[in-house]
Chains A and B, each alone.
Chain A
């Protein structure tokens, strides 16, 4: 025995006592374990922290009150004397008016519970502070004599408890089960047959540890760990409310993945998410991390009141922070003091004050990037580079202008004429910032395309319209201009009528060809017939002089509608031939100045200064004015310089266009940014935004340790406070969640609630040691995960006897290994993995694997940009890990919701695990699962050896099932033969199942076997 072990052995007795005092000694009533939750649940509502609802002057959350005289003159609790304690008298009274809890509260105490109260009072009525509000302290672990349970501190604690409970742990799970279990726990994926084989062959003492280390180093570790965090952070790909439009935040999701893979310490992880933007010289990554506080659902519903929406946004941040970092149910204190925990309404709004000063509006504008946001790193670099080039080019233009030696040749030389220019507005895509409506159905060759890559093809019955409005680059109308657009009418299915329509603030400008069937507008007022339908089977340019549709000079066209009645029409390039902004060319500055002073519309609109100068009489212009006019003239007008200048301008334009397109097409992600001036916060009476009460400052809940001087009063300080060694909750709450990931249930089952209403820890001292050690390790998450999966408790067999199933159905004591149904994501990832389909790529935009038609449309707002589900195409997208599946929060994919994945509308730190027939239907019939089975079958055919039994062994290995299970082996074999004979008799069914005519019956039969395997209990279970 080493000295360390010696010391351990000596200290065992002491430690055991400590542990027992907290949780294990059944004869001694423990306040935190036995009494507090009863008081909280049955009594606090009227006798708790909430002052407004306190009855009889008695509160049971404070010893001072419970042991003192009540309003009635009686003393609720007299320590050591249950019979003199009014509490007991009230509990056992048969008088309905006297008995507690009152009958109308729907709360009762059982005889056993009343007995507990009696004993507790007998034993001195010792009150303790609620366990989770006391700073955790490390204690020596008890000793344990189960073989193999002496290696880790965690096993010491768990083993000692098992011993006390008279339970025996299981032996270690077999190696095949073990590697499957740990691979799922750490990466969310099944091990490959090679990985299993290597482990089986590895006889070294640390073979298992090597597997664990390999898994912790795998990039899939980060993906899997991120998935749990993203539930808690309520990450989604849509706003979540009302229109539920696309919201772009996947760079935040990728940040989380990377943070886990880089093993970012939990304190840094926390700080960067809560306050990344407040860190000095915040890096791009730190800003992205601050998006954590932007994941809340948002709305832009018409009619919403911004102040109310803002309040909800901020509330969500407060509640999420409370739950995720502290296991506190802040939500309860939005309207009143907490009924069970010492949280005041004031605490809520003092926390609120940390989160209400965002540099951006409350309403999301239905936009994917409602400010503040940042562009992708790549876009930022590209834009910076372009900015440099643009500056250079602008310099070049300036120097070129300066070099021109200009002499005015006199006004007689010029005879100006303005030539109209064609401006293309629509080509392959809509103009900038246009909001479209309807399905344009862009198609490419070999369909007819006039120019560019695509045309818009629409086949309709009756009247049908697509349109857009709101372009921020409108067409400006000049006298004599001509609007144009190209159409191609299908000769086999020509329309009866086609119509263009323009929006210059209203839609009353229409031009049509053919019959008069489209019901919009009034002839010769707001609609005008321009002629018969054009010839079919060829591209025709339709032209509409602006005067024909009564568009006036100066009008700004911001939208265009394309309407057809019946038939198939291809629509392509459209725009205007305009004189607007076209520069006449002059040789004489004087002549031009005179001319353009009469035609100010010819000045480039952006150049307001020049327009202003020209308004002054020539003799009122100063030297600076003259210089500016000269420069403008030389740059845009002077005949002799135009060749050079046009080239320079074209260069500049291509750069600014490029910059514009980078800006438009690059991904963004929402971030948090503090407003320049903090916004004041008030207590909101009854939680109503329009009932502000007392003003509050940024403060942490008063019952917790205060913020120190070094902590700034902002989110950064809040993060520092959370991570301070004196904070009783942060480390415990975090450790408990990781425990829950590994073992299925947390040491505190209610991982979202560590307050009085939450469940008490099964192993309080173990939780405390883990919490302290986690912090002392430098908040090392990988090290913690490794500690958990290295324990004998984790590694033991998950088989159980009926007695144990009854005794400890939730496996809280861990007399067996963890066993529970795989999560939604793990199930799908497993199917794709064993089918050999899974795409091994980290990060990037979310993807849309196929799902049944109409799920979004059934609920979506018709104007939402996520109302139509269009599945992605191609292996690279549809076979990615489920973590990357697009999350539409108001209509979660059934593959997720059916298996208890949360809709990400609010913070979720614990998923339920149900077992339903809908799950069976999905696993049996969802085309993606069937595809995975078919793909597995193909693998069996290719790689599984010659005879059926060897193929079964191959598949068994693929699914990491027990190869020695003879029942299974025989059953799968007979299923194979039955299926084979079925498909031999029904060859067309084989074709249908595999999706290919002439499919061999064997392949179809194996697909049945694989479909069966993917539905086996042992396959859908983490075991």
Chain B
């Protein structure tokens, strides 16, 4: 810890110990005691979580979700369909489509010509898992991850679909996955937020699908459970820095006054909220040093930086975000979610998909390696994936060199790794057209149930009554964790 900060905290504690007689509660004092970053021995039931959680011993204490917003083309990355080469420019058979609904972007097309992936696949890992040439680094770690090829959803457009997978409902208003974790499990580090979101840059077409604060919002849960956004430029956390002209010592002096006067308010009025406010101001002050420390990549070795690739030190890149994510989980931030945009390849797969995969491939691999080397992969869950899949048939012009793909909710591929997940397996299967699932379907709510399971939560039991319903992340239908991929 920064010695100056340590000094200030010592003073603060002393200051308050002296004033303790005035009525500063034990709880406030406890939260004012600095929480060392190495306090890894903390139980995973955190500060401010529900007393009944975790429901069972969790495999993962924390999680990182690499969200590929826009929906990656599963058949160009993971879902290898060599048979399609013979189907080039032939129409998708009705027997495959089965009259299922399409988006209105292609429902008017006269034909649904099949676009085989133009990318080469080669076998990797112990089981010879086929991976696209676009993911050379991911290919190296197939033995560390579980690939699920049979995710499916009902939504066919981005806004409802991404809202659905992130909050369990297609309509706005529900708590997000991370806010459920914050609400249920609480915090493991009093000096940092529990749930952090990053929205890095991307390299594909810049006209990209939007994100929405609701994807990491708290819905009807108290807003303190929503994510704190770690920003690419300016203050890493909104309003973290003191205004120009106010330095740390002056701010400390101010906060001493705030605390002292608020103590007097508490003495006179007796509202426990006042005490809570005192400790929130002290935590804010601690964050002013813990957050800059967190984002200071100067502490990383060159070897680590090299592993994440040349973008690792460029603020706002996916590589930098992955590295920051590791630094956060290292400090026991409960949940980190990185939303990488630009995966909506309606056209120009040839140019944009390689640009997108180049952004994410090496950093995602590096993240897994980094966690592994630090012995953290065992209790950190990592998830990679988008909101739905894409069609085997081409949207717009089709050539051997280039094509586009429309939204496809009926199957898509994600991978999971780390805490609680069986490494080196492939789960689920789709038909030759990567259109329908033929084996082991996994609904997006099953996936969310799996994530909760890894973190020690029975998804059926984590609910909050709202508008007459016991609302759960996994909705009202019967869902369950994917046992086959769990350790």
- Chain A residues numbered 966-998 whose CB sits less than 8 Å from any CB in chain B: 967-968, 971-972, 974-975, 978-979, 982, 986, 989-994
Cα A916 to Cα B224 in complex, Å, equals 7
Residues A917 and B284 in contact in the complex (CB < 8 Å), given A301-B157, A862-B206, A925-B239? yes
**Chain B residues whose C-beta falls within 8 Å of the C-beta of A305 in the assembled complex:** 101, 103-104, 156
Q: Can you add 17 more A-B contacts, CB < 8 Å, to A805-B271, A853-B233, A993-B246?
A: A242-B158, A299-B159, A305-B103, A331-B468, A339-B469, A340-B468, A854-B231, A854-B233, A858-B231, A905-B172, A915-B224, A917-B281, A918-B237, A918-B284, A920-B281, A989-B247, A1016-B261
Which of A349-357, A709-717, A749-757 lies at the interface with chain B? Answer: A749-757
Beta-carbon contact of B238 and A861 below 8 Å: no
B40 beta carbon closer than 8 Å to chain A: no
A243 beta carbon closer than 8 Å to chain B: yes
Which of B74-82, B130-138, B272-280 lies at the interface with chain A? Answer: B272-280
Beta-carbon contact of A914 and B467 below 8 Å: no
Within the complex, the shortest CB–CB distance from B161 to chain A, in Å, comes to 10
Within the complex, the shortest CB–CB distance from B449 to chain A, in Å, comes to 14
Beta-carbon contact of A752 and B467 below 8 Å: yes
Within the complex, the shortest CB–CB distance from B481 to chain A, in Å, comes to 15
Beta-carbon contact of B173 and A332 below 8 Å: no
Within the complex, the shortest CB–CB distance from A316 to chain B, in Å, comes to 8
Closest to B241 in A: A925
What are 6 sample pairs from A and B whose C-beta atoms fall under 8 A apart?
A301-B158, A305-B104, A329-B469, A798-B271, A858-B232, A979-B250
B253 beta carbon closer than 8 Å to chain A: yes
Beta-carbon contact of A890 and B280 below 8 Å: no
Within the complex, the shortest CB–CB distance from B187 to chain A, in Å, comes to 11
Within the complex, the shortest CB–CB distance from B126 to chain A, in Å, comes to 38
Residues A753 and B223 in contact in the complex (CB < 8 Å), given A897-B213, A921-B238, A922-B238? no
Closest to A931 in B: B243
Partner of A303 from the list B104, B258, B273 (CB cut-off 8 Å) is: B104
**Chain A residues whose C-beta falls within 8 Å of the C-beta of B240 in the assembled complex:** 921, 925
Cα A544 to Cα B246 in complex, Å, equals 59
Cα A384 to Cα B242 in complex, Å, equals 56
B287 beta carbon closer than 8 Å to chain A: yes
Closest to B281 in A: A920
A1012 beta carbon closer than 8 Å to chain B: yes
Cα A753 to Cα B467 in complex, Å, equals 6
Interface string of A436-479 (1 = CB under 8 A from B): 00000000000000000000000000000000000000000000
Partner of A915 from the list B104, B106, B277, B465 (CB cut-off 8 Å) is: B277
B124 beta carbon closer than 8 Å to chain A: no
Beta-carbon contact of B224 and A1008 below 8 Å: no
- Chain B residues numbered 210-267 whose CB sits less than 8 Å from any CB in chain A: 210-214, 217, 220-224, 226, 228-229, 231-235, 237-247, 249-251, 253-254, 257-258, 260-262, 264-266
Within the complex, the shortest CB–CB distance from A932 to chain B, in Å, comes to 12
Beta-carbon contact of B245 and A991 below 8 Å: yes
- Chain A residues numbered 469-523 whose CB sits less than 8 Å from any CB in chain B: none
**Chain B residues whose C-beta falls within 8 Å of the C-beta of A924 in the assembled complex:** 239, 242, 251, 254, 284
Cα A925 to Cα B251 in complex, Å, equals 10
Beta-carbon contact of B257 and A757 below 8 Å: no
Beta-carbon contact of B261 and A971 below 8 Å: yes
B269 beta carbon closer than 8 Å to chain A: yes
A407 beta carbon closer than 8 Å to chain B: no
Partner of A858 from the list B206, B229, B266, B277 (CB cut-off 8 Å) is: B229
Beta-carbon contact of A332 and B246 below 8 Å: no
**Chain B residues whose C-beta falls within 8 Å of the C-beta of A979 in the assembled complex:** 250, 253-254
User: Which B positions have Cβ atoms within 8 angstroms of A?
Assistant: 101, 103-106, 156-159, 171-173, 193, 199, 206-214, 217, 220-224, 226, 228-229, 231-235, 237-247, 249-251, 253-254, 257-258, 260-262, 264-266, 268-274, 276-278, 280-281, 283-284, 287-288, 406-407, 458, 460-461, 463, 465, 467-469, 476
Closest to A1015 in B: B258
Beta-carbon contact of A903 and B213 below 8 Å: yes
Beta-carbon contact of A912 and B223 below 8 Å: yes
Beta-carbon contact of B269 and A798 below 8 Å: yes
Beta-carbon contact of B265 and A917 below 8 Å: no
**Chain B residues whose C-beta falls within 8 Å of the C-beta of A41 in the assembled complex:** 465
Beta-carbon contact of B280 and A1011 below 8 Å: no
A428 beta carbon closer than 8 Å to chain B: no
Give the total of A residues in contact with B, Cβ under 8 Å: 110
Beta-carbon contact of A915 and B280 below 8 Å: yes
Beta-carbon contact of A1008 and B468 below 8 Å: no
Beta-carbon contact of B274 and A1017 below 8 Å: yes
Cα A916 to Cα B284 in complex, Å, equals 8
Cα A323 to Cα B272 in complex, Å, equals 32
Residues A927 and B243 in contact in the complex (CB < 8 Å), given A890-B214, A903-B213? yes
Beta-carbon contact of A906 and B172 below 8 Å: yes
Partner of B243 from the list A758, A805, A968, A993 (CB cut-off 8 Å) is: A993
**Chain A residues whose C-beta falls within 8 Å of the C-beta of B212 in the assembled complex:** 244, 859, 890-891
Interface string of A317-334 (1 = CB under 8 A from B): 000000100000101100
**Chain B residues whose C-beta falls within 8 Å of the C-beta of A922 in the assembled complex:** 238-239
Cα A588 to Cα B237 in complex, Å, equals 79
Closest to A915 in B: B276
Beta-carbon contact of A920 and B207 below 8 Å: no
Partner of B268 from the list A799, A920, A1011 (CB cut-off 8 Å) is: A799
> A304, A921, A975: which has the most chain B beta carbons within 10 Å?
A921
A607 beta carbon closer than 8 Å to chain B: no
**Chain A residues whose C-beta falls within 8 Å of the C-beta of B229 in the assembled complex:** 858
Closest to B206 in A: A862
Partner of B468 from the list A338, A892, A915, A1016 (CB cut-off 8 Å) is: A338
Partner of A917 from the list B106, B158, B280 (CB cut-off 8 Å) is: B280
**Chain B residues whose C-beta falls within 8 Å of the C-beta of A853 in the assembled complex:** 233-234
Residues A921 and B287 in contact in the complex (CB < 8 Å), given A299-B159, A329-B468, A858-B231? yes
Cα A972 to Cα B214 in complex, Å, equals 41
Within the complex, the shortest CB–CB distance from B114 to chain A, in Å, comes to 20
> B193, B212, B217, B266: which has the most chain A beta carbons within 10 Å?
B212
Within the complex, the shortest CB–CB distance from B123 to chain A, in Å, comes to 35
**Chain B residues whose C-beta falls within 8 Å of the C-beta of A423 in the assembled complex:** none
Beta-carbon contact of B211 and A858 below 8 Å: yes
A801 beta carbon closer than 8 Å to chain B: yes
**Chain A residues whose C-beta falls within 8 Å of the C-beta of B465 in the assembled complex:** 41, 757
3 shortest A-B CB distances, which residue pairs?
A: A993-B245, A303-B103, A329-B468
A240 beta carbon closer than 8 Å to chain B: yes
Beta-carbon contact of A975 and B254 below 8 Å: yes
Beta-carbon contact of B238 and A1012 below 8 Å: no
**Chain A residues whose C-beta falls within 8 Å of the C-beta of B223 in the assembled complex:** 897-900, 912, 914, 916
Beta-carbon contact of A920 and B234 below 8 Å: no
Partner of A1016 from the list B226, B228, B262 (CB cut-off 8 Å) is: B262
**Chain B residues whose C-beta falls within 8 Å of the C-beta of A798 in the assembled complex:** 269, 271
Within the complex, the shortest CB–CB distance from A853 to chain B, in Å, comes to 6
Beta-carbon contact of B238 and A990 below 8 Å: no
Beta-carbon contact of B270 and A1012 below 8 Å: no
Within the complex, the shortest CB–CB distance from A788 to chain B, in Å, comes to 22
Cα A879 to Cα B476 in complex, Å, equals 46
Closest to B170 in A: A312
Residues A329 and B280 in contact in the complex (CB < 8 Å), given A914-B224, A921-B287? no
**Chain B residues whose C-beta falls within 8 Å of the C-beta of A874 in the assembled complex:** none
Partner of A302 from the list B105, B173, B210, B243 (CB cut-off 8 Å) is: B105
Within the complex, the shortest CB–CB distance from A926 to chain B, in Å, comes to 5
Residues A303 and B172 in contact in the complex (CB < 8 Å), given A106-B461, A329-B469, A799-B268? no
> B104, B173, B206, B463: which has the most chain A beta carbons within 10 Å?
B173
Beta-carbon contact of A920 and B284 below 8 Å: yes
Beta-carbon contact of B269 and A921 below 8 Å: no
Cα A799 to Cα B241 in complex, Å, equals 35
A800 beta carbon closer than 8 Å to chain B: yes
Partner of A918 from the list B228, B247, B264, B271 (CB cut-off 8 Å) is: B228
**Chain B residues whose C-beta falls within 8 Å of the C-beta of A892 in the assembled complex:** 213
Within the complex, the shortest CB–CB distance from B181 to chain A, in Å, comes to 17
Cα A991 to Cα B211 in complex, Å, equals 39
